[in-house]
Structure 1
Amino acid sequence: MSGSRMWVVVPAHEEEARLADTLRALAAQRDRDFTLLVVDNASADGTGDIARAFAADAPFPVEVIEEPQKGVGSAVDTGFRYAMARGATLLARTDADCLPRPGWTGAARAALLARPGLVCGRIVARGDEHGPLGRTVFAGLVAVAALFGRLRPEHARRHGYRAPYRMHAGNNMAITADLYLAVGGMPRRPSPTDRLFLNAVRRHTDRISHCRTMVVENSTRRLRAYGLAGTARWYLDQGSGAHGTDPR
């Protein structure tokens, strides 16, 4: 894919308190040959202002757009399509409460160039939100959710899937523009969207890779807001129970 152009898309809904940390993590990337797009998703706080202030001195081009339809699926889809309309051939996404480690963009680019398709990275808990116990609990929940996804009968390849199921975290993914368009894009709805999108890709291709060096530190605030049982329900795709989809 010679001449490939990468855009990084960050959907952000009322992330005034956290977005700056995510932007600093992106500025610390070793591979900074990308354009950053922040999608302000119906925020009523200063999320967009923070992104625009960062753009003034950022080490890469930054654009900020608005998506008034609340829902991470809508924000991501709008962002990806905006980027593709401006020439993006490689698309990466993280979220506005996450911290991509310094090798993240480089690992995403290398993985997509080696095997064009969808690349899923590795998520770990942020180190500034919980102590060692909380981070261990988070890792356990992710592992159980990944196992649950692989064992679910409806995810079996006999249902027409061309690739085995592997847990896909939307806040740590990269995809070629061609594949994104071919599967119809991200479902334009509130979270959860990741499983629906992954299964659309699985029906279309077996070119799904897992890149362990593509690492994002994930927020654990859902664990604090929902508790252990509620967070387990969420990661096992059983909904949020009495909680809303937004853990703030």
Structure 2
Amino acid sequence: MTAPVPGGEPAPGGEPAPGRVPGSVPPVRALCVAMPALNEEKLIRQSLQALAAQVHKDFTLVVVDNGSTDTTTAIVADFARIHPAMDVRLIHEPQKGTGAAADTGMRFGALNGARWLARTDADCLPAPDWTLRIVEAFDDGLEMIAGQLNPRLDEGLGRASRWLMLLAVEVASFFGRIRPGNKGEGYLGPYQMLPGCNMAITAELYLRSGGFPRTSIEDLHEDRALSNSVRKLTRAYALRRNVVVFGSCRRVQAWGLPNTLAWYADHRFRPDHVDIR
């Protein structure tokens, strides 16, 4: 495992660019997977195991610790020691926020040799063929891929509840296309809902689009912002339903489905505590 410190090359405005230490970081593989993590000791080991079980194993995993105070980083370090053939990097982003952490991980890959970037989260389980299907989609000419997000099967939800959640995702995707905030001048194609925990993009397009905004989840849904930025640059993006990630339902269990949908719909529901663990 390599554990570089983010920062180094100047970015526009003179600030260090996240995720880059010139001359000190071994190049990453063609596909680089970014995984933001904050106090995920309960679930991250399962996520790491799901990535270790991928059919297509030629990828680098970059875990971006976003200020964990539990054993998250120790679990990642132990996992990397047990799986020496897997290219695992652990880096740190002190600026709290899913946007900031995800951007640091994606830029680490883009600035250190990756051709393609993917993202999942530390409470998710990518299907065994996840990375394989991502590479196939890129080989088909796509520059950005939105994957299929399914509820995890191990969190106690019944079949009816899981189907209701899948339906809710489809409804949210439909309303995203007619949402006024996703319309306007300059878009080359229709809005595509982009699950932050199941997406991929070429490194070149990520940098050209500006990437994930370095925001906190309370302020902005960074996946929506990236999707809208990409739509102004290319039409080579699409949903691939065979790119599957099983996501945690813990927000739904904590808030209920209506409030969870309202949270993702422009933060119409604003709880006091958003980091459900």
Q: In the alignment, what sits opposite 2:258?
A: 229
TM-score (norm 2): 0.84
Deviation of the 1:243 alpha carbon = 4.0
CA contact (8 A) 2:176 2:182 kept: yes
The separation in 1 between residues aligned to 2:92 and 2:268, in whole angstroms, is 27
Segments of 5+ residues of structure 1 without an aligned counterpart are: none
Question: Of 46, 50, 56, which residue of structure 1 is paired with 2:71?
Answer: 46
Q: TM-score normalised to the size of structure 1?
A: 0.94
Which residue is equivalent to 1:14? 39
Point out the structure with the larger helix share: 1
Secondary structure in 1 aligned to 2:256? helix
Report the secondary structure of 1:204's partner residue: coil
Q: Distance in 2 between matches of 1:178 and 1:41?
A: 25
Matches for 1:163-182 after TM superposition, within 5 Å? 163-182=189-208
Distance in 2 separating the partners of 1:78 and 1:8? 12
Given that 1:226 and 1:243 are in contact with CA atoms closer than 8 Å, whether structure 2 keeps it comes out as no
Question: What is the aligned counterpart of 1:29 among 51, 54, 63?
Answer: 54
Shift of 1:134: 2.2
Provide the identity percentage.
Answer: 44
Equivalent position to 2:109, from 80, 83, 88 = 83
2:270 maps to what in 1? 241
What is residue 155 of structure 1 aligned with on the other side? 182
Provide the C-alpha distance between the structure 1 equivalents of 2:272 and 2:259, rounded to a whole number of angstroms: 8
Which letter maps to 2:38?
A: H
SS of residue paired to 2:232: helix
Contact 1:11 1:39 in 2 (8 A): yes
Rounded to whole Å, the distance in 2 between the matches of 1:60 and 1:178 is 25
Q: In 1, distance between residues paired with 2:163 and 2:272?
A: 23
* Native 8 Å contact 2:192 2:238 kept in 1: no
Aligned length: 244
Contact persistence 1:168–1:194 (CA under 8 A): yes
1:209 aligns with 2:238: yes
1:100 alignment partner in structure 2: 126
CA contact (8 A) 2:110 2:207 kept: no
- C-alpha contact (below 8 Å) 1:148/1:236 kept by paired residues: no
Q: In the superposition, relative to structure 1, how do residues 163 and 23 fare at CA in structure 2: closer, same or farther (>3 Å)?
A: same
The offset of 1:233, in angstroms, is: 0.3
Q: Distance in 1 between matches of 2:188 and 2:101?
A: 28
Q: 1:143 aligns with which of 165, 170, 174?
A: 170
Gaps in structure 2 of 5+ consecutive residues: 1-28
